[in-house]
C-alpha cells in the first residue's frame, strides 16, 4: 500500500485507534427514537464492559459531546454534535450546486425545502 508518499505493507485497519472506534459506535447508537441511553444498555448493545462505556461517556461529556440527564441517569448527544454536523453541512459541495435549484423550488411552491444526503451503508 502506498500512503502519503510512503510504501507500507500495513492495512488501513492497522492504523485504527480502537478507543475512537468505540466512541463513534457509541455515538451512532443514539437515534431519534432512542435519544437517551444508559451506560448499561450501551454496554450490552456494543458488547463492551460497562466501565469502558462509562469512561467513554465521561470523556465525551467533558468535551460537550454528550450530557447526562441527572433524573434518568442516561446520556444524550449534546449541542456540540449539532455544531459539528453544521460545519460538515456547510462544507458540502452538493449544497453549492443545489442551492439555486432549491431557491427556485421555494419560490415556485412556497414550501420549505431540505437537502439531505444519504451516506454510509446503513449499519
Domain ranges of the chain: 16-77
The percentage of residues in the chain with a pLDDT greater than 90, rounded to a whole number, is 61
Question: Measured between alpha carbons, how far is 27 from 57 in angstroms, rounded to an integer?
Answer: 9
By the 10 Å C-beta count (0-12 exposed, 13-18 middle, 19+ buried), 11 is classed as exposed
pLDDT-above-70 percentage for the chain = 89
What's residue 40's pLDDT? 96
Give the residue, 89 or 67, on which the prediction is more confident.
Answer: 67
What's the rounded mean pLDDT across residues 33-37?
Answer: 95
> Per-residue pLDDT tens for 38-63?
999 999 999 999 999 999 999 999 99
For residue 91, the SS3 value is helix
Window from 7-16, 58-67, 71-80, 102-111 with minimum mean pLDDT: 7-16
Q: According to the model, what pLDDT value does residue 11 have?
A: 81
Model pLDDT, residue 1: 45
Residues paired with 7 in a beta bridge: 2
Give the Cα separation of 59 and 95 in Å (integer).
33
Going by pLDDT thresholds of 50, 70 and 90, the confidence category of residue 4 is low
CATH assignment of 16-77? Answer: 1.10.10.10
Amino acid at each position: 500500500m502506498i500512503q502519503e508518499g510512503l510504501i507500507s505493507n500495513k492495512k488501513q485497519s492497522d492504523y485504527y485507534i480502537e478507543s475512537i472506534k468505540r466512541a463513534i459506535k457509541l455515538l451512532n447508537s443514539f437515534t431519534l427514537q432512542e435519544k437517551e441511553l444508559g451506560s448499561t444498555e450501551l454496554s450490552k448493545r456494543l458488547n463492551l464492559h460497562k466501565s469502558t462505556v462509562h469512561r467513554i461517556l465521561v470523556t465525551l461529556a467533558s468535551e460537550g459531546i454528550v450530557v447526562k440527564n441527572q433524573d434518568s441517569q442516561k446520556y444524550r448527544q449534546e449541542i456540540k454534535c449539532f455544531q459539528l454536523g453544521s460545519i460538515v453541512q456547510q462544507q458540502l459541495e452538493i449544497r453549492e450546486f443545489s442551492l439555486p435549484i432549491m431557491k427556485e423550488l421555494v419560490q415556485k411552491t412556497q414550501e420549505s425545502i431540505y437537502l439531505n444526503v444519504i451516506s454510509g451503508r446503513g449499519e
